[in-house]
């Protein structure tokens, strides 16, 4: 018997004013995989990601987590579903006025009843897991770009979510740091066994860690396959995108 997808996206439509962003998108996300969502800028990748966690409600269609529509059952059900997710926002979205320790501790303070000692221990362990030690008292503006990304990852993982969404997690980093963050994501995913969905423009670097790659174009999934097969696709639009070529069927939005 085939494994049931952890997340099923069925016939997703979303319009903002006159702009139709998603046009009947379908996609299965399997438990324990690293799925990369790629595509031209402005094609709705971040909008799609926000649908998965219920930050945006579709005009039509469903997001099913283990077969249950996240929007059926009211706000209480949606809140329960969101507890299974962690999210690393583009830019990290750290609180500038809070120390590193307070940033990472924030989800624990908001969503658990752990003692201050338990929270402090969890924060220290999580920072160590992402390769950071002895920086708890620093503020985000005292950190390098790569260190801020690691702190944001620690905050996203501190509750040990089942599913983690990454919205362009390496934006603004140099190629060496891009690979470092990618491998950190792969390492933590292997140890913590979460399902990862990564919106990325880092081509071809993202292929090094992705289990599968899905290309979003004109509001639908144009192609989805393993990273290896995706790179060998016979679809001219996929090959143009990978090569970054000006000439071809793709036109910037």
What's the pTM value of the predicted model, to 2 decimals?
0.92
| Cβ atoms < 10 Å from Cβ of 179 | 16
Q: For 139, phi and psi rounded to 5 degrees?
A: -105, 155
Q: What per-residue confidence (pLDDT) applies to 252? A: 64
Residue 192 makes CB contacts below 8 A (sequence gap 6+) with 157, 160
CA dihedral over 77, 81, 86, 88, signed as positive or negative: negative
Low-confidence ranges of the chain (pLDDT < 70): 1-2, 91-92, 252-253
Write down the pLDDT at residue 42: 86
Return the structure tokens found at 8.
Answer: 């099923």
- Of all residues in the chain, the percent with pLDDT exceeding 70 is 98
- The span from the CA of 95 to the CA of 106, in Å, is 10
pLDDT confidence of residue 185: 94
How far apart are alpha carbons 106 and 100 in whole angstroms? 10
14 sits in which H/E element: strand 7-16
The tokens describing 174, both together, are: 């140099």
Give residue 248's pLDDT.
84
């Amino acid at each position: 018997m085939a494994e049931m997808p952890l997340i099923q996206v069925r016939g997703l439509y979303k319009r903002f004013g006159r702009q139709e962003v998603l046009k009947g998108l379908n996609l299965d996300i399997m438990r324990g995989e690293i799925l990369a969502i790629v595509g031209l800028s402005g094609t709705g990748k971040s909008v799609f990601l926000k649908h998965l966690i219920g930050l945006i409600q579709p005009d039509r269609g469903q997001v099913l987590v283990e077969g249950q529509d996240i929007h059926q059952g009211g706000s209480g059900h949606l809140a329960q579903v969101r507890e299974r997710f962690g999210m690393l926002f583009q830019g990290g979205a750290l609180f500038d006025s809070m120390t590193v320790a307070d940033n990472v501790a924030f989800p624990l303070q908001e969503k658990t009843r752990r003692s201050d000692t338990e929270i402090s221990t969890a924060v220290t362990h999580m920072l160590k897991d992402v390769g950071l030690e002895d920086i708890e008292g620093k503020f985000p503006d005292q950190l390098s770009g790569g260190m801020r990304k690691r702190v944001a990852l620690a905050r996203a993982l501190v509750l040990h979510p089942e599913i983690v969404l990454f919205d362009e997690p390496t934006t603004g980093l140099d190629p060496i740091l891009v690979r470092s963050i990618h491998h950190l994501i792969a390492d933590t995913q292997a140890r913590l066994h979460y399902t990862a969905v990564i919106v990325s423009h880092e081509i071809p670097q993202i292929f090094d860690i992705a289990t599968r790659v899905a290309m979003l174009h004109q509001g639908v999934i144009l192609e989805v396959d393993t990273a290896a097969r995706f790179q060998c696709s016979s679809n001219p639009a996929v090959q143009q995108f990978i090569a970054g070529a000006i000439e071809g069927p793709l036109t910037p939005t």
